[in-house]
Amino acid sequence: MDAERDPARRLPDDVALARAALAATRNVAGVAGISRGRYAIARTFGLGGEAVEGVQLTHDDAGLRVEVHVGVRPVPIPPLADAIRAAVVAALAPAGIVVAAVDVWIDELRVDNAADAGEEAG
């Protein structure tokens, strides 16, 4: 059966979806970086040993559940989590993916302080 007649074959694979979610998350103001996970490694696996760390996808009857792990700057957390959720849903929508939930894990707070960096260097 070819890709035109088999809808499952036209959907992006999990690695492509995880990369899209990762890119969308990185672009949200207040996100300092992606985390591998604090207590267990969050990772999406693909064929050939490919993996995307910091994003874990789960498929269930309701749709796709996305878990993203981030390090954040000192910003209000609830609006940041809402912005991440909206960015991930928007990034996956063009692929025709039904996103059932986006769980945002704040694994660390990153504070950039030039004074502290100068003391460590000297």
Q: 10 Å Cβ neighbour count for 13?
A: 12
The DSSP 8-state label assigned to residue 93 in this structure reads: G
pLDDT, tens only, 94-121: 988 899 999 999 999 999 764 444 444 4
**Cα 36 from chain centre:** 10
CA distance 56 to 52: 8
- Whether 75 and 30 have beta carbons less than 8 Å apart is answered as yes
- Whether 9 and 3 have beta carbons less than 8 Å apart is answered as yes
What pLDDT shows up at residue 74?
96
Nearest to 104 by CA among 83, 74, 118: 83
pLDDT, tens only, 22-81: 999 999 999 999 998 888 889 898 887 889 999 999 999 999 999 999 999 999 999 999
What pLDDT shows up at residue 11?
58
What pLDDT shows up at residue 113?
60
What pLDDT shows up at residue 8?
47
pTM: 0.80
- Whether 105 and 35 have beta carbons less than 8 Å apart is answered as yes
What pLDDT shows up at residue 12?
77
Domains and CATH numbers, the chain: 7-121 (3.30.70.1350)
Find the angle CA(21)-CA(26)-CA(32) to the nearest 5 degrees.
Answer: 140
